[in-house]
Amino acid sequence: MDTSDLTPCRPQDFGKFEMTHRDGCARLGKLHTKHGILRTPTLLPVVNPNILTVKPRRMLEDFGYQALITNSYVIWKHDDLRKRAMEEGVHSLLDFPGVIMTDSGTFQSYVYGDVEVKVDEIVRFQREIGVDIGTMLDVFGRPDMSREEISSAVQLTADRAEDSLREAGGEILLNGPIQGGLHEDLRAQSANMMSNTTHLGRGFSVHPIGGIVPLMESQRYSDLFTIILASSSELPSSRPMHIFGCGHPMLFPMCIALGADLFDSAAYALFAKDGRILSEEGTHRIDTLVEWPTHSRQISNLTPNDVREMEKSDRTALLAKHNLEVTQRELARCREAVRNGSIWVLAERRSHSSPYLRAAFEKVSESMKLEDSSPISSRINTIVMATNPVRPSSEPFSSDIYNRPHIRHARLLMEQRWRMPGSWSDGSSGPPKEIAILQGGNPPWRISHGQVVQNILSLEPRTIIFVDTPMGLLPYSLEDLSPWCRVEGGEDIEFMKSEEKTILRSLKKIGLQGINVSYYGPSNTDYEKNQRIRSWIERCSLVDKLSILCGVDPLDGCVLTEGTDTRHSNTGRPVNVFKDGKHLFSPRLNDGGISLALEGAKALHSLRSKHVGKSKKSQSQRNNTDHPGVPSVTLHSDAVPFVGAGRNVMHGFIEHADSWLTVGQPCIVMDLEGNFVAHGTSNSTSEEMAVLKKGVAVRIREGILEKK
């Protein structure tokens, strides 16, 4: 592993969490500690100082684990361990130079009954032995407890929070566990109370979700995911979310997709002791295995029978190392899925590993349709709206495709912001006379249906054309926009056709009913392109993309694009749009999205200023419309010269961010007076910009000072 990650963080960064990559609420991050940067998502193996199945240093050097978790109550209770920890520190005790988190004894109280240590005493002990991330003594809420008992546990945990923070001081980071049993409202209440508790301005650094081990032991994964959703609905994005006691690889993708950053578990050792090995698809007993259902470096040169014949201590150590390796492999796969925007697809695949996991996944998918004010609905909405709706990667087709968060986001934006053309290809205006539905054929639809489209518009210019895609209806002006044009599923999807009632329902949803609808198949014959129709389609495409992806009013888009010139690629695709010799926009070939040039961003800023003015109050009022204008980020005055010169906008230097910011899509950057400073793409939501203090918030494309 990179040993630079073990270097103590800068004092000013202590306890800060930054996000480096994201896919919706799934994220890669860095938590800054005194023993280095902890990169997330990751798992902390549970280490019992009395039983070292795998030595902690080997976990770091052989398997790349940057952090581990041990139990401060166990160390406190055993005199010899306590004495060594107080004299040498916990890092020396465990011979581990990385990040050490400690639990407080809460889980022991669940397993064995009451613990003997006091609330302030256990936090003080964790501070004195030099842990990096301690844990307060919360009250474990069992699933079988009554609502009154759970409510009492939530309140008692919250009552202990400030005293625990006081005892931790500024020397260690502290976990603020979330309790609440199976009750969504109590989970949200607990998260709200714990995340808002501070002492001298300092709050908790990490929020573990507690009381869930009994659920995982009985494979109640639906309850597990419901608890994660409810708890995270009230947690700030500036703090990692830790799933206490969760360590099975097959659960990682879904948990990470829902926003989990940290995991911990002793399963690697406990399962090994019981003759079980972990895989990405489940757990396997070695008793009857003839061949390995999974692989690792540890077992590659051995047969199951070889392992069965080992001494138990050797077998346990070997299987524990295998389990650690498999765990790291799945976490690496999850991190890469976040980087390339496929974490939800990975969660879909893993959901087929177990009928209980599949049922839980389907329940979460059904929750996508909720439109109430519950904590679950609130968190689902956050997950959907935190996605980048446009991405260049392919979209594997399955029955789950409609509930992928980024696809729901894309469809919502299209349904909310798309409008029919203000004028037609022959220059006329007025309501449409026909609706044409293109069916069959593969994208690019401009090739498979190009002649058909030209014939339709030549015969009746006042026709609105849609493509019947596997993801629903798509205006033809957006035929190259991902994800609609990137669905992959073999020959079957080429011939998929929506039922007429589904099509009519979709048209009604966007205000098109009572108009004659006709259906057309593809045509592969050569044809002579009509330049007038081609130019009209390209302009409609530009207006629609500005409307859907940037929030620009279609009427403003029509004015802005009037009299523009377009440069095309060698294949005839529009790549640059100019007006009066100035470069405004660049339609992207890889995903069908749109990039702003400096002059285009300035033009959108001018339109915005005309409509909403420069005050924050008027900006908020504008948010109630379907087309609020290009979203903006307002800078702290200290950052203006740097951002204006082309530097990225960093968290901690933002005064205001519009609530309709879309991750991965264009935004403009302004100073406190509302003047244009730069433009770029948003890395974060407005809520994240309000609470994060480190990392890149907006990736700047151009600043107004760069060319001066």
> What residues are annotated to the active site?
103
CA atoms of 104 and 74, how far apart (whole Å): 9
Classify strands 67-71 and 276-279 as parallel, antiparallel or unpaired: unpaired
Identify which of 645, 652, 664 has the alpha carbon closest to the alpha carbon of residue 706.
645
Answer whether 229's CB lies under 8 Å from 376's CB: yes
Answer whether 665's CB lies under 8 Å from 682's CB: yes
Q: Output DSSP code: residue 453.
A: H
CB atoms within 10 A of CB 293: 11
Name the residue with tokens 């009022």. 621
Which segments of 223-337 are extended strands (E)?
241-243, 262-265, 276-279, 282-285
Identify which of 283, 252, 271 has the alpha carbon closest to the alpha carbon of residue 320.
271
Name the residue with tokens 């080997």. 58
Q: Output DSSP code: residue 267.
A: H
Give the distance, in angstroms, between the CA of residue 97 and the centroid of all CA atoms in the same chain.
Answer: 30
CA atoms of 406 and 667, how far apart (whole Å): 19
Answer whether 18's CB lies under 8 Å from 30's CB: yes
Length of the chain: 708
Residues 34, 66, 56, 43, CA torsion sign: positive
Identify which of 126, 91, 78, 99 has the alpha carbon closest to the alpha carbon of residue 36.
99
CA atoms of 153 and 142, how far apart (whole Å): 10
End-to-end CA gap in the chain: 44
Answer whether 423's CB lies under 8 Å from 429's CB: yes
Give strand pairing partners of 21: 28
CA atoms of 281 and 127, how far apart (whole Å): 39
Answer whether 504's CB lies under 8 Å from 513's CB: yes
CA atoms of 628 and 75, how far apart (whole Å): 57
Instruction: Classify 480 as helix, strand or coil.
Output: coil
95: region left, alpha or beta (phi > 0 left; psi from -120 to 50 alpha) = left
Classify strands 632-635 and 649-650 as parallel, antiparallel or unpaired: unpaired
CA atoms of 35 and 96, how far apart (whole Å): 10
Which structure tokens are listed for 381? 């909405």
Name 177's Cβ contacts closer than 8 Å, sequence gap at least 6: 106, 135, 136, 138, 157, 194, 207, 208, 209, 210, 244
CA atoms of 358 and 356, how far apart (whole Å): 5
CA atoms of 554 and 625, how far apart (whole Å): 13
**DSSP string for 590-633:** TTS-EEE-HHHHHHHHHHHHHHH-SSHHHHHHHTTSS---S-EE
Identify which of 405, 389, 326 has the alpha carbon closest to the alpha carbon of residue 591.
389
CA atoms of 564 and 368, how far apart (whole Å): 41
